[in-house]
Amino acid sequence: MTNWIDACAPDDIDEEDVIRFDHGTVSLALYRLEDDRFFATDGFCTHEQVHLSNGLVMGKIIECPKHNGRFDVTTGEAKGAPVCVNLKTYPVKVESGRVFVDLG
Amino acid sequence: MSTQDAGMVIVGAGEAGARAAMALREHGYTGTVTLIGEERHLPYERPPLSKAAMTSVAEPTAAFILDEERLTANRIGHISGVRATSIDRIGHTVQLDNDRRVPYAKLLIATGARPRKIAIPGAGSENVLYLRNFSDALAMRARLQPGIRLVVIGGGFIGLEIAASAIARGCSVIVVEMAPRILGRAVPAEIAAVVADHHARAGVTLIVGVGLTAIERDGTDEIVVLADGRRLVCDAIIAGVGAIPECGLAEIAGLTVENGVRVNAQLVTDDPDILAAGDCCSFPHPIFDGRRLRLEAWRNAQDQGNHAARSMLGAMEAYDRVPWFWSDQHDQTLQIAGLPDEGDTAVVRDLGGAPMYFHLKAGRLVGASAVGPIGKVARDIRLAEMLIQKRARPDPVLLADPTVKLKSLLPTEPVAA
Ligand SMILES: Cc1cc2nc3c(=O)[nH]c(=O)nc-3n(C[C@H](O)[C@H](O)[C@H](O)COP(=O)(O)OP(=O)(O)OC[C@H]3O[C@@H](n4cnc5c(N)ncnc54)[C@H](O)[C@@H]3O)c2cc1C
Ligand code: FES
């Protein structure tokens, strides 16, 4: 089942950056990469539950603000210590000038 | 002696040791990996001990770095509850206190540090507590009940984190620091002042610039006697007066020890088959002109564990990761990148109410520090760290201007030293 939610305008996220998006009980991190692709993952780091929206995006990597744990934002994959549990990812599409996330 | 089974042996199953064991596998090593630790637990992280483990409502569990499943999947032999007592460098074996001898091809010493004890009359009381491991944390937590009067000796990171946690648990807290200000040389005075202010607002009493002369007992009360004659009546005393590197093994083995087990840039000791990493080692840092450092910092332990594993497998690179440290006190995070005390000039940037200091040495960025909510400080400290790593010489005017994104100051090509 798909459940596309209107999250923001593309320009609400700077290039190579991340914002927080809360909807109901879920909290996501929404990313815009340098090449203008958009991605979404669970918002909280799998190490100590700190929100990733204050982290730094470099290429397709988000670095957690707390202890620099790294994830690939395109796949959610944990890229080494101290994080070892992957992030859940969500499909994203840009349509009619809006960014939509599929919360399933 | 046959070295048939001799593989990689790591003494000390803490942050650096556990990380090194995993890194050996990640870098493709297929031989035997043995991780020896005197604690009975699986390897766990220490930073939460003074923070979440103290303040959590529920009884805390250790934050494990490796579980049984990952140890098994990576074929890491974990010998726990056993202390290594000596190294036979000629025979290439480590002696354990359970009479076992473990052969090694390469040996990593990752034995960490232990709390320095206070040495004044009365300091031997059972009401004087120290914090290094999980069982210390459980014992301390049990003592920090609402209404308990606590004196913390030492205004360094551990003492201040415990003070913040104890206030949150409803204790009354006095921190006594002998130096004129808290946090010492590693943190600029301006940042230390902000931290002191947060403690004062949370209800912690800070006494600075006064030494201690004795701890006396009066019935069930303990009395901390200060050099100026003041007497602080309390129920428990926590001492956070620094740590001493755990170098016994290296000393017995005749390796050079000077404020830690002395290693070279590849983290190798005087003996080419013995390395050291983490809180126990002193190493030269290439970014700071080879200045010899011994860090007591979580990420350094992790990164040096990883680096030592690579050196054990024959890599020849120098360890050059910029030092990085954080501390959580009350709702504030303090982060430090590089070495602020190396700087000759400081530049301040306002991160929306949170101060950030840049420290420059002859124009080159060598340190940065900031305190505030994590959302305000983390990114810019991380970017400053990258600037330091690249030996950048950013324009101080741009550094001070909060509208200039630090990311835009990153050189695209590495800058020459
Ligand atoms: C309470 C506390 C809070 C901290 N908070 C922070 C923080 O907020 N930020 C930060 O950056 N850093 C923090 N640190 C520092 C960080 O935890 C250490 O830098 C890190 O744990 C060092 O890792 P290590 O592997 O060198 O040593 P350790 O983690 O201490 O591990 C060494 C291990 O070796 C074992 N060992 C020693 N000798 C032997 C022997 N002969 N045989 C067998 N085993 C032996 C010890 O029992 C220990 O388990 C904190 C430390 C403490 C204690
Ligand atoms: S909370 Fe994200 S790396 Fe620790």
Ligand 1 atom at minimum distance from B49 CA: 1
Within 10 angstroms of residue B219's Cβ, the number of other Cβ atoms is 5
CA B189 to ligand 2 center in whole angstroms = 28
Tens-place pLDDT, residues A4-50? 999 999 999 999 999 999 999 999 999 999 999 999 999 999 999 89
Smallest Cβ–Cβ distance between B382 and the set A48, A56, A82 belongs to: A56
Cβ of residue A87 lying under 6 Å from some atom of ligand 2? no
pLDDT for res B413: 61
Q: Which of A56, A66, A83, A84 to mutate to test the interface with B (most CBs of B within 10 A)?
A: A56
Cβ–Cβ gap A82/B324 under 8 Å: no
Shortest distance, CA B227 to any CA of chain A (angstroms): 40
Q: Which helix (H) or strand (E) holds B261?
A: strand B261-262
Shortest distance, CA B232 to any CA of chain A (angstroms): 36
CA B43 to ligand 2 center in whole angstroms = 17
Query: Can you count the helices (H) and strands (E) in chain B?
Result: 10, 25
pLDDT for res B54: 94
Among A18, A52, A56, A83, say which to mutate for ligand 2: greatest number of ligand atoms within 8 Å of CB.
A83
Written as six digits, the tokens of B306 are 């990883």
Smallest Cβ–Cβ distance between A54 and the set B324, B375, B383 belongs to: B375
Tell which A residues from 2 to 61 touch B, by Cβ distance under 8 Å. 16, 48, 50-51, 53-56
Residue of B nearest to A51 (CA): B375
Strand B332-338, strand B324-329: pairing: antiparallel
Residue with CA at minimum distance from ligand 1 atom 29: B14
State the DSSP string of B155-205.
-SHHHHHHHHHHHHTT-EEEEEESSSSTT-TTS-HHHHHHHHHHHHHHT-E
Ligand 2 atom at minimum distance from A45 CA: 2
As a residue count, chain A comes to 104
Residue with CA at minimum distance from ligand 1 atom 19: B297
What is the rounded CA–CA span in Å between residue B7 and residue A88?
38
From chain B, pick out residues whose CB is under 8 angstroms from the CB of A84: 70
What is the rounded CA–CA span in Å between residue B9 and residue B35?
6
Identity of residue B317: E
Residues A61-83, buried b or exposed e (16+ Cβ, 10 A)? ebbbbbbbbbbbbeebebebbbb
Residue with CA at minimum distance from ligand 2 atom 3: A69
Contact B195, B332 (CB under 8 A): yes
Cis peptide before B180 (omega within 30 of 0): no
Residue of B nearest to A68 (CA): B382
B27 touches chain A (CB under 8 A): no
Ligand nearest to the CA of B328: 1
What is the rounded CA–CA span in Å between residue B315 and residue A37?
37
Residue of A nearest to B15 (CA): A82
Instruction: Match 């090509």 to its residue by tokens.
Output: B413
Tens-place pLDDT, residues A37-82? 999 999 999 999 899 999 999 999 999 999 999 999 999 999 988 9
Grouped pLDDT means (10 residues each) for chain B, 417 residues: 72 98 97 97 96 93 94 97 98 96 98 97 96 96 97 97 97 97 91 96 97 96 97 98 97 97 98 98 97 97 98 97 96 96 96 95 98 94 97 97 93 59
Cβ of residue A62 lying under 6 Å from some atom of ligand 2? no
Shortest distance, CA B361 to any CA of chain A (angstroms): 26
From chain A, pick out residues whose CB is under 8 angstroms from the CB of B65: 81-82
Instruction: Match 């690249």 to its residue by tokens.
Output: B390
Residue with CA at minimum distance from ligand 1 atom 9: B326
What is the rounded CA–CA span in Å between residue B11 and residue B314?
19
A67 touches chain B (CB under 8 A): yes
Cβ of residue A83 lying under 6 Å from some atom of ligand 2? yes
Written as six digits, the tokens of B95 are 């002696």
Ligand nearest to the CA of B280: 1
* Mean pLDDT over each residue of chain A, to the nearest integer: 94
Helix, coil or strand: residue B66: coil
Question: How confident is residue A1, by pLDDT bands cut at 50, 70 and 90?
Answer: confident
pLDDT for res B3: 43
Written as six digits, the tokens of B283 are 């190493």
Within 10 angstroms of residue A26's Cβ, the number of other Cβ atoms is 15
Ligand nearest to the CA of A65: 2
What is the rounded CA–CA span in Å between residue B160 and residue B187?
13
Cβ–Cβ gap A68/B326 under 8 Å: no
Smallest Cβ–Cβ distance between A68 and the set B65, B374, B382 belongs to: B382
From chain B, pick out residues whose CB is under 8 angstroms from the CB of A53: 375
What is the rounded CA–CA span in Å between residue B290 and residue B283?
8
pLDDT for res B252: 96
What is the rounded CA–CA span in Å between residue B47 and residue B44?
9
Smallest Cβ–Cβ distance between A65 and the set B298, B306, B378 belongs to: B378
pLDDT for res B2: 42
